[in-house]
Amino acid sequence: MGTFTHTVAVTGLNARPDNPGPGLAVARCLREATDFRGRIVGLSYDALDPGLYLREYCDAVYLLPYPSTSSLDYLDRLRTIHAQEKFSYLIPCLDVELPGFTRAQGMLLDLGIHTFLPTNDQLRMRNKDNLEKLGSMAGLQTPRTAVVTRRDFFQTCEKDNWHYPLVVKGIFYDAHIVASRYEAEEAFHGIAAQWGFPVIVQEVIKGQEYNLTAVGDGKGQLCNPVMMKKLATTDKGKAWAGVSIEDDVLLTASRQLALALKWRGPLEVEVMRDQDGRYFLIEINPRFPAWIYLSVGTGGNLPMNLLQLMDNHTPAPVPSQAGQLYIRYAAETVAPIAHFEALVVDGGMTLRNFGK
């Protein structure tokens, strides 16, 4: 694959400091690739998503209706943006978008939009309520997990040997560590209202968190895995600082998962290592993580590898360099109010032509 000169659409530009979406980091990886000379179209859901205002990464930005709206409206909006920007590649970056994009792959291809996504079966298999099976595929233990649809669970759970603190998680996003029945019920209601049912309850594993990201080639192999240990987290448990590592147990488990699932597309594998050195699979995310820029810092570029796979090229193996530290930071950007106006009134704009 030579110099890349096409237009790529990237979603998930909600780069909020305490819980950023991965889209902006993906755009940054592409922009910094030496062989990328294409355009980047940023797609997001809220006019105040910071990535919509960063012209150094996006050439054009547009708002989409939330994925929970009708899929026809969503795809119509995508068609309209495509008619204007003619993007040929699409990288969805949010869990909640994936079922819809996976179903629409044929329609997208008819429009000339290439994707590289997991199948519906693969998405179902990695669901948080399927963790035990995934753990067995990976050869790892899993924390005790319950799929909960009623608040009553918390009234009786202690009798069934569920001891606080517990983790209460949404099926797509969000996780709260709760120390009492009162906190558990509050988290249950909040998560169910935002992300729907079921809600996942897990025992807390005390230890260090290690994550891996890579791209599955759809045939059972992982391309250019990058691993990191979280050194600091936000209040929501999101990585704020980390360091790249080479962990054979995590790598072998992830390779086994990719092989068993024949995973297609980006993924993130999250594990905890307890004080006795035992590894527990926590979850698998079907997309790049917000810390994906570390793949550039360790010598590779996984978003570029994804584009290569979309073009039926096998990415060259790049060894990931351990000992690269990353620290996330918060900064402000300044834009004229007309920029915000263009987003809320017109639904988007070309940034390169937009005056400061």
- List residues binding another protein (CB under 8 A): 208, 210, 228-229, 231, 242-248, 273, 275, 277, 322-323
Nearer to another protein, 56 or 248 (CB): 248
Q: Where are the beta strands (DSSP E) in the chain?
A: 7-11, 39-44, 60-63, 89-91, 145-148, 166-169, 175-178, 199-203, 207-217, 222-233, 239-245, 264-274, 279-285, 325-327, 348-350
Nearer to another protein, 68 or 208 (CB): 208
Backbone region of residue 266 per phi and psi (left: phi > 0; alpha: psi in -120 to 50; beta: other values): beta
DSSP 86-104: ---EEE---GGGHHHHHHT
Nearer to another protein, 106 or 277 (CB): 277
DSSP 211-232: EEEEEEESSS-EEEEEEEEEEE
Look at residue 172 and give its three-state secondary structure: coil
Name the β-bridge partners of 216. 222, 265
Q: Which DSSP symbol is given to 204? A: P
Nearer to another protein, 160 or 248 (CB): 248
* Token duo for residue 211: 């994550």
| 207: number of Cβ within 10 Å | 16
Asked if residues 99 and 80 have their Cβ atoms less than 8 Å apart, the reply is no
Asked if residues 135 and 273 have their Cβ atoms less than 8 Å apart, the reply is no
Nearer to another protein, 60 or 227 (CB): 227
Distances (CA, A) of 115 to 53, 156, 210: 25, 46, 28
Nearer to another protein, 98 or 138 (CB): 138
Nearer to another protein, 129 or 246 (CB): 246
Asked if residues 64 and 26 have their Cβ atoms less than 8 Å apart, the reply is no
